[in-house]
Structure 1
């Protein structure tokens, strides 16, 4: 990826504490973006932020549970407060939910998956798209 940079971009990364989200944060931060790291695990986020900053990047930690609408809003507020705006989102947070024959999966389990994997990310994008579109981010 020689020559590619995200220098100066402000990126929100949900589900940043482990797996794909953590790896994405390392790469995105390494490409020069200022990253807001969001997940439920403070320790994992702080460790990741330290790693990004030791490599020369800038990271802000926001402990949040995207299953809760008010915490999705808190992520956006934290990112704007830390870096002055949002240029992009890596919407990674999600769960696999209950596994089994459809007729045996409780509706509450399905609702939880839809709330976290779809509704919360939809709301996150509703909150950030107006400023991104306005700035052609």
Structure 2
């Protein structure tokens, strides 16, 4: 099996949803909201994909300025293709697209939290999340 990696190869919303379902990341993404999923695909400005022939088997989907910060929003590998180094390669290829000062930033899924430290990430406890519908307190 020869996995091919592509930078910013167009994918369909259906391909993205299918991969998320087959990677278990779909459990933490709004896959039932097609418009949201379509927006996630169309508004990403850096996507590295992994392919086995014409089957999408992995993705690193990011939003970045390419110079200072790159938020790796989704890292997903099809369950049948996990433990083959595809996820690490997707991250390395993402990093290659970035400028020398650009940080790769992500929020780990609970089950994947221990994955990132051994491959070079440092943990940061200063991440904050404002959930949809929560109002910023101005007074």
Question: What TM-score results when the alignment is normalised by the length of structure 2?
Answer: 0.31
- Greater share of residues in strand: 2
Q: Which of the pair is proportionally richer in helix?
A: 1
Normalised by the length of structure 1, the TM-score is: 0.31
Of structures 1 and 2, the one scoring higher in RCO (CA 8 A, sep 6+) is 1
